[in-house]
Amino acid sequence: MLKAEKITRKFGDVQVLKRVDISIESGEIVGIVGSSGAGKSTLLHILGTLDRPDTGRIWLNNQETGHLSPKKLAAFRNRQIGFIFQFHHLLPEFDALENVCIPGWIAGTPKKQVRERAEYLLDILGLSGRTTHKPQELSGGEQQRVAVARALINQPSIVFADEPTGNLDSKNARELHQLFVQLNKETGTSFLIVTHNEELAALCGRTLHMKDGMMV
């Protein structure tokens, strides 16, 4: 489903990624662990097409992403990939429901259909009573669950999560861990999760270790 070969990335004189290979099957939950500076987040951003590698090739659902124009790549990313970051990046002027709907609106999906799916996602995430609340009216855990719903709104093939529990207390982090497993079972969505959290890594079906820009 996702395959990358010989990915390299250099920033200035620092070689951050050194010919990294990775493959993920449909429906997998894969964790990437390693010390700070190992290249985990850089790799995640490249696999998620937010950045381009210096060398190497990436395929997602048999589409080689390096051959797409910026416009086509943005549309492909919007349809095929969901993102969850350590900080939720919700838009403060929109309520929870609207924040979840935004990627669906960008994709051009009928508004009624987008709204119904957003309401469904917020309901299964335990936020059915918080849909009209703006981010500043939500707790940190609630904001992150809104971000999870937003990542899933377009029914992506894979969700990339970069330290998704890094800004949460232990209780909310544990609940989010279980939520990823539940969503994976219910929707079949693949997850690639960069984390320092050993508990979250233990829940992944497979864990990869990075060190000095390489898989070890």
> What pLDDT score does 119 carry?
95
- Predicted confidence (pLDDT) per residue in 80-113, tens digit: 999 988 777 899 999 999 999 999 999 999 999 9
pLDDT of residue 204: 87
Helix (H) or strand (E) holding 64: strand 63-64
User: What are the chain's domains?
Assistant: 28-54+69-215 (3.40.50.300)
- Res. 169 pLDDT band, cuts 50 70 90: confident
CB 32 within 8 A of CB 210: yes
Task: Provide the H-helix boundaries in the chain.
Answer: 40-47, 70-80, 96-107, 111-124, 140-152, 170-187, 198-203
Look up residue 189 and give its amino acid. Answer: T
State the SS3 of 26-62.
CCCEEEEECCCCCCHHHHHHHHCCCCCCCEEEEEECC
User: How many whole angstroms separate alpha carbon 119 and alpha carbon 112?
Assistant: 11
Please report the pLDDT score of residue 117 as a whole number. 94
Q: Is the pLDDT of residue 68 over 80?
A: yes
State how far the Cα of 167 lies from the Cα of 169, in Å rounded to an integer. Answer: 7
Higher pLDDT, 85 or 15: 15
Contact 41, 195 (CB under 8 A): no
pTM: 0.88
